[in-house]
Homo-oligomer: A and B are copies of this chain.
Amino acid sequence: MSRKKTIDEAQLFQETEKLIMESGYAEFHFKALAERLGVARSTIYNYYPNKEELITSYMVRLLERAVENMDEAFEAEYPVKQLISVWSRYANMHQMLQIMPYINQKATPKVEENIRVMYTLFGEMKSKIHHVLKKEQESGRIREDIHMATMTGLLMATVQVPVHHNSLGQWVDEVYELVMNGCKG
């Protein structure tokens, strides 16, 4: 019995990201989303009760994956380079996270819950970076006279450095060089 669904969560998430990346959060509403999905606006309410829950659910999923991928750094030959590499792959996630201040965070209890989860995941992320740096310090590959928080901050800030030329690989090489050895070289 029953009727076939015309959309699923994957499509919903995909169009959510596309819409936000292309038009910004101000343009993110169910009317625009429905148009892209080719369904009536009210259909989306059968999947998510409001846009805040939809977007925060998506962001939680993004963050979870990023945090998982950070683990690659622990086994890599050049852990810091691996960190930068993983981090750079999540530039879009970073962009998504920047819209957090514009989300009505008190929309529903579920939204508040999602926000809490996001902060926890963000903490995990920082802690993994911290852990990698600490280990590098102990092996003497990283200096000890600068606060760990500053180094972690700089590393996370690198995601903002625009990718100018060619490949992401080259970007990672250059940024890694700068982060490790500085502009003086």
| Residues of A near any B CB (own CB < 8 A) | 24-26, 80, 98, 101-104, 133, 136, 141-143, 145-147, 149-151, 153-154, 156-162, 164-165, 171, 174-175, 177-185
Contacts and interface: CB of A to CB of B under 8 A. Distances in A.
A159 B161 CA distance: 11
A178 B146 contact: yes
Nearest to A98: B98
A134 to B, nearest CB: 12
User: Which residue, of A151, A158, A182, has the highest number of chain B Cβ atoms within 10 A?
Assistant: A182
B184 A142 contact: yes
Contacts of A182: 178-182
Given A142-B184, A157-B157, A150 B179 contact: no
A164 B149 contact: yes
Contact of A178 (B26, B154, B160): B154
A133 B177 CA distance: 17
A184 B183 contact: no
